[in-house]
């Protein structure tokens, strides 16, 4: 399972409007940027209280990336 698929799997199981979740991967000179886009109504569910859900999502993605040999990854969660 690729990083984008893994991130989409995690977020779609949290979001109510799962069909609107989009994950994009960008490669830059510094490493990889993974951008997760969710609907405005799902932002509070994805972020959680004091950002605990978002931090957990980021930690899981970073752990999977590290297992695949990717050492520098940044995860952005945003709404559209």
- Computed over every residue of the chain, the mean pLDDT equals 96
Q: What are 6-39's pLDDT values in tens digits?
A: 999 999 999 999 999 999 999 988 899 999 999 9
Looking at residue 25, its pLDDT comes to 96
Q: How many domains does the chain have?
A: 1
Q: Check which CATH number belongs to the domain holding 42 and give it.
A: 3.30.300.20
Strands 32-38 and 22-27 come out as antiparallel
Domain holding 13, by residue range, is 3-79
Half-sphere CA count of 50, side-chain side, radius 13 A: 0
Quote the pLDDT of residue 66: 96
pTM: 0.92
Task: Please list the residues that pair with 75 across neighbouring strands.
Answer: 34
């Amino acid at each position: 399972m690729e990083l984008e698929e893994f991130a989409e799997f995690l977020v779609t199981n949290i979001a109510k409007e799962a069909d609107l979740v989009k994950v994009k991967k960008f490669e830059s000179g510094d490493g990889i940027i993974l951008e997760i886009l969710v609907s405005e109504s799902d932002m509070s569910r994805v972020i959680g209280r004091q950002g605990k859900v978002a931090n957990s999502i980021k930690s899981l993605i970073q752990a999977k990336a590290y297992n695949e040999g990717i050492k520098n990854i940044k995860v952005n969660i945003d709404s559209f």
